Structure formats: structure tokens, C-alpha cells
């Protein structure tokens, strides 16, 4: 066993372990020298083992979940295929893993689950949904290519998801491979090899020749051992959606990764606006099973709809409860869609819960020469009150992955002398991401100063814009309650926020979901006219109530 392996096993840094060796007078050892069994026993005896806490009772070690990330053509898929062929638990995988979105590998009697993802865009998108899917991110870097733009992107996405990073240097069979250069390049991004005194595990592999695969799997298990991954199979169930599809014959199918508890046939699940009774469970090999425990990926049949990746499922007591929860969430989602999403701007971005405010920024520039200059300029605008965190900086156009990272991290994209496609501009608008375009550095500096100085939480006041008296109530199937009303002041506008008064008391709030004049939809109805109003978020309206529409305005 090497020193850095023992250090991770004992939950020590390399320096801490070397200090213990010095105290034990085990001399002449370096971070790459081997230790004898007797020396290892002496080191372990020197350390006090951690006693399990009461909370850990009932917990069992669980299988680590791993995702491969990296630049295109650096061998992520080839590496995963090579691992499957040599160490797949239970036989040949075939095409099953492409459907399930996961595969299970066995090494020295222990299992590892690999999640198949279409790339690190999906990886961060999962985080945007609030789901922590993977335990370890493996950064695959081609030894002949070295660090490339998507390599840096992958590092930033893994760090945004707050998971430990391992490095697999691939294609070591090629004559052009330069291992030292790759290590030096990655060290610039704080991924320093353990052999160099750092904390990052580096493994050298060749997916093509099958070299280094056993060590690759052993290092994953070592990292997992350090993380002390545990779960309670008898506790409350939680599973996260990896992918979903609509099967023509079997209906909605979702792939769940079990995170907590155990899932069994007959259980009633609810996740977001989807619910149902589990009719069938299919494991990664295509076999029908009766139950699935922690870290197990499983296809689930019997739900009401196809869920989105990142959605979290839990168990409900019965189908009635599950249906009520799902319908309530669906109603809230519909209301949320009617309310304009707040867009992060340089003038309004704030984090009032922290003592020191933080601005998250993504930088895209036109040339490599200006990348460092722009990034340094932005970083130099930090102050004691405001920290500036550059999550990602790269040369080239604004990509979908930039927008997803900005959405997940509440960041602004600084776009210097580059462009964003119309599709990506539409995506940014949909995700509420602010892309700021600049051609002059002074304009950019002025805007960031405004952002820095405007990070104090803005104050808003409500201004009434209209009143309507409820004269009659109509119940319409599917549409719900419609308040036949007379606009006595101002105007009623579809999408406006409203409060409902009964006498002097506010009895409810919501948003005008639909507004009609006679049988026609209207965008607004002015003073002196009658209309039909349906309020999303409040249905207990009665004849004689008063509806007041208002808008929030910032107080300068």
C-alpha cells in the first residue's frame, strides 16, 4: 500500500501521515514509497478510531455512485465500456445500460454504480433541480490532448455540484501522451496529484488496451471508503429520477436511483406532479425484481406520467394522499408559470442571508489573450463587503452548458466580444439567466461596480392598480370558480397579483389566471366595465368580496 492510499484510508492528509511516521521514527519514507504490514499496523495503532454516533446505528455502507466527465473524444464512453466488459457484475450488459442509464460494476467483491449521462450539462442541470445524484466525479483527460475547454467546464460543473473529483488520464498507450504535462495543467486548477503532495487521486489508464482498469476501480473504492457512504435501508424512502421515457406498450417508465430506504412492488410513490403505485421494478440487467435498496438504479412502471431528471420521489400512505400531493404541486407549478420569473440583473442581485455578499459570474471572451485580463479585472473589483466568484471562464460563444451552470448557481454571464445563438438566448430567457454583452472593458467595469454597490437588498412597496366588486359567482367545470365582477377603480389585468377582501379582512391572495368580457378572453378590463375573473391560488371567493389588484415597485 502506498502512503497516499493509507492516508486516505485513515482520513489524513499526506503531510499528517508523514508527521505520524516521523513520530514513530519510521524514516526514509516518501509519498510514493511502500510501507510494510508491520509499519501499517504501528501507524493504525497510533490513531484513535472514531466511534460510531447514535445516529449511525442502523446505517449500512452503500455502493458509491460515479459519473464520468470530460472533454469530447477523451474516452469517457470507451473507458466505461472497457470497465463493463472486464468487471460487469452478473454477465454481459448488452444494450440494457443505454436504457436504464446506469450500470453496475464489481471489483474485489464490492460494487460501483456508474451513471450514464449525456455530459456535464445534464450533471449541473440535476443540481439545478436540487438533486445530489453522484458521489464521485471522475474527470477523464486524454494524455495526448491534455486540458481542453470542456475539461475546464467539467471541473467547474463538478465543483458546482460539490462532489469530490478523481482524475483518469486516458490513452497512455499513445506515443504522444505526456503525463507530466497533464498533471501540471490540472494543478493550475487546484487538482494536484497525491504523488506531488496534493489531495487528488490520479490514475493512468488505456481504455483501448485495458491498462490500469483494476487500479482505476480500486481508487474509486478507496475514495468511497474515505467518504464513508452510508444509508438506512429501513428508513424513509427517497429516490431521484435519472431519466424517463414513455413506452408505447407499458406506459410511463422512469429510472430511479434509490438514495434512502427500500423500494418495493406495491409501494405508492409521489414526486412532483407524478404519482402512482409501483407495478414493476426492473434492474440494470433487465431482470424483474421485487425490491431495490440504496444506490440501486431501477426502472419503475406504474406511475401517472414521465418525470424529469432530477425530480425526487418519496412514498405516500395511500393513492388518495399521493394524488392530492401531486395535484397540489401541479397547481402550484401552473401558478408559478403565470408569474414572471425574477431575472438576475447587475442592479438587483443580492444574497441578504450572508454577511459577505457574493456575486457569481461566468466569463466568456473572444480570445485567449483577453481571458486572463478580463478575469483579473473582474476579480480586482472585489471588496470587503462583496466577494466575486468566477465560476467559469473560457474562450468562445455562450453555450447551453454556460446557461445551465448560471441557472443552477444564480450567476450572471459576462459576454465580452462574443455572441450567443438565438436558441441559447431563448434558453437564457427561459432559465432567467442574465447575459451581459460588452465590447468596451470600461463599460463592463462600470456595470460590475453598480452590481457591487447595489447588493444591498432592494425595498419594494405595493401599489394598488385596480378594484373589482364581486357581484355573482359561477362554477364552470374544469375552470373552477369565476367571479362575475364590476371594475370600480383602475383596471384588472390578466397575470396581475390580487388580494381578496371580505369586509376589512384579507382572506386570500393569488394571480388573475383568466379574465373575460362576456365570452371572450381579455388582457385587461378598465373602470366601469363588467368581467369574469378566475384567481389562481384562491378559490374560496364569494359574492360581495372585493378584489384588489396591485403591483410591486422598487423604492429607490
204: left (phi over 0), alpha (psi -120 to 50) or beta: beta
Structure confidence at residue 525 as a pLDDT band (50, 70, 90) = very high
How many of the other CB atoms lie within 10 Å of CB of 268?
A: 19
Q: Which CATH number fits domain 459-555: 3.80.30.20, 3.40.640.10, 2.40.30.10, 3.40.50.10490?
A: 2.40.30.10
Domains 250-336 and 459-555 in one fold: yes
Question: Class of the 58-231 domain?
Answer: alpha beta
Q: Which residue has the higher pLDDT, 273 or 367?
A: 273
Domain limits, the chain: 3-51, 58-231, 250-336, 357-453, 459-555
Q: In this model, does residue 326 exceed pLDDT 50? A: yes
| Model pLDDT for residues 357-389, shown as the tens digit of each residue | 788 999 998 766 577 778 888 888 888 778 899
How many of the other CB atoms lie within 10 Å of CB of 225?
A: 15
| Model pLDDT for residues 171-223, shown as the tens digit of each residue | 999 999 999 999 999 999 999 998 888 889 999 999 989 999 999 999 999 88
Q: 52 — phi, psi (to 5°)?
A: -65, 140
Say which residue the cell 442502523 belongs to.
58
| Model pLDDT for residues 92-135, shown as the tens digit of each residue | 333 322 334 677 888 888 899 988 655 555 555 554 444 467 89
Average pLDDT for 271-290:
90
How far apart, in whole angstroms, are the C-alpha atoms of residue 394 and residue 448? 19
Say which residue the cell 420521489 belongs to.
313
For residue 97, CA distances in Å to 92, 263, 416 come to 10, 20, 41
Q: Which residue has the higher pLDDT, 477 or 87?
A: 477
Q: Which CATH number fits domain 357-453: 3.30.2290.10, 3.40.630.30, 3.30.1180.20, 3.40.50.10050?
A: 3.40.50.10050
Q: In this model, does residue 554 exceed pLDDT 70? A: no
Proportion of the chain above pLDDT 70, given as a percent: 76
Which CATH fold would you assign to the domain 250-336?
Elongation Factor Tu (Ef-tu); domain 3 (2.40.30)
Structure confidence at residue 158 as a pLDDT band (50, 70, 90) = confident
70: left (phi over 0), alpha (psi -120 to 50) or beta: left
For residue 259, CA distances in Å to 128, 229, 276, 545 come to 18, 11, 19, 48
| Model pLDDT for residues 1-53, shown as the tens digit of each residue | 455 566 666 666 656 666 666 666 665 544 334 566 666 666 666 665 545 55
| Model pLDDT for residues 56-83, shown as the tens digit of each residue | 566 888 999 998 888 878 888 888 888 8
Amino acid at each position: 500500500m502506498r502512503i497516499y492510499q493509507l492516508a486516505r484510508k485513515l482520513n489524513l492528509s499526506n503531510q499528517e501521515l508523514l508527521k505520524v511516521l516521523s513520530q514513530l521514527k519510521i524514516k526514509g519514507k516518501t509519498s510514493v514509497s511502500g510501507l510494510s504490514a508491520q509499519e501499517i499496523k504501528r501507524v493504525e495503532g497510533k490513531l484513535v478510531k472514531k466511534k460510531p454516533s447514535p445516529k449511525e446505528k442502523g446505517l449500512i455502507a452503500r455502493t458509491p455512485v460515479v459519473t464520468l466527465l470530460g472533454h469530447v473524444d477523451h474516452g469517457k464512453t470507451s473507458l466505461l465500456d472497457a470497465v463493463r466488459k472486464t468487471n460487469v457484475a452478473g454477465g454481459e450488459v448488452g444494450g440494457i445500460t443505454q436504457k436504464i442509464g446506469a450500470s453496475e460494476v464489481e471489483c474485489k467483491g464490492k460494487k460501483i454504480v456508474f451513471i450514464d449521462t449525456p455530459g456535464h450539462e445534464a450533471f449541473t442541470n440535476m443540481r439545478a433541480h436540487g438533486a445530489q445524484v453522484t458521489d464521485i466525479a471522475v474527470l477523464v483527460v486524454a494524455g495526448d490532448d491534455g486540458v481542453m475547454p470542456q475539461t475546464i467546464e467539467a471541473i467547474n460543473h463538478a465543483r458546482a455540484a460539490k462532489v469530490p473529483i478523481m482524475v483518469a488520464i486516458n490513452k497512455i498507450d499513445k506515443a504522444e501522451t505526456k503525463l507530466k504535462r497533464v498533471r501540471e495543467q490540472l494543478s493550475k486548477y487546484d487538482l494536484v496529484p497525491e504523488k506531488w503532495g496534493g489531495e487528488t487521486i490520479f490514475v493512468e489508464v488505456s481504455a483501448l488496451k485495458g491498462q490500469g482498469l483494476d487500479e482505476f476501480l480500486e481508487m474509486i473504492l478507496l475514495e468511497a471508503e474515505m467518504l464513508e457512504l452510508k444509508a438506512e435501508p429501513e428508513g424513509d424512502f427517497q429516490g431521484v429520477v435519472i431519466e424517463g421515457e414513455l413506452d408505447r406498450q407499458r406506459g410511463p417508465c422512469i429510472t430511479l436511483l434509490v438514495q434512502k430506504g427500500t423500494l418495493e412492488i406495491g409501494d405508492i410513490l409521489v414526486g412532483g406532479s407524478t404519482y402512482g403505485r409501483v407495478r414493476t421494478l426492473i434492474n440494470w440487467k433487465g431482470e424483474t425484481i421485487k425490491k431495490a435498496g440504496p444506490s440501486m438504479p431501477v426502472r419503475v412502471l406504474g406511475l401517472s406520467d414521465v418525470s424529469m431528471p432530477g425530480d425526487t420521489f418519496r412514498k405516500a400512505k395511500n393513492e388518495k394522499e399521493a394524488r392530492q400531493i401531486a395535484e397540489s404541486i401541479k397547481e402550484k407549478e401552473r401558478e408559478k408559470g403565470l408569474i414572471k420569473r425574477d431575472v438576475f440583473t447587475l442592479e438587483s442581485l443580492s444574497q441578504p442571508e450572508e454577511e459577505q455578499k457574493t456575486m457569481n459570474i461566468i466569463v466568456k471572451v473572444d480570445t485567449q489573450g483577453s481571458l486572463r485580463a478580463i478575469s483579473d479585472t473582474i476579480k480586482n473589483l472585489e471588496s470587503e463587503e462583496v466577494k466575486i466568484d468566477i465560476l467559469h471562464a473560457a474562450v468562445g460563444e455562450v453555450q447551453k452548458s454556460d446557461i445551465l451552470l448560471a441557472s443552477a448557481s444564480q450567476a450572471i454571464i459576462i459576454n465580452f466580444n462574443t455572441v450567443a445563438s438565438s436558441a441559447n438566448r431563448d434558453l437564457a430567457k427561459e432559465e432567467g439567466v442574465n447575459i451581459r454583452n460588452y465590447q468596451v472593458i470600461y463599460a463592463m467595469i462600470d456595470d460590475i461596480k453598480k452590481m457591487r454597490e447595489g447588493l444591498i437588498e432592494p425595498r419594494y412597496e405595493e401599489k394598488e392598480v385596480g378594484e373589482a366588486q364581486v357581484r355573482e359567482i359561477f362554477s364552470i367545470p374544469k375552470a373552477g370558480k369565476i367571479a362575475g365582477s364590476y371594475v370600480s377603480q383602475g383596471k384588472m389585468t390578466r397575470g396581475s397579483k390580487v388580494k381578496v377582501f371580505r369586509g376589512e379582512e384579507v382572506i386570500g391572495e393569488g394571480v388573475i389566471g383568466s379574465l373575460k368580457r362576456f365570452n371572450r378572453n381579455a388582457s385587461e378590463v378598465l373602470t366601469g366595465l363588467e368581467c369574469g375573473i378566475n384567481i389562481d391560488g384562491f378559490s374560496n371567493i364569494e359574492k360581495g368580496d372585493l378584489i384588489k389588484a396591485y403591483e410591486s415597485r422598487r423604492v429607490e
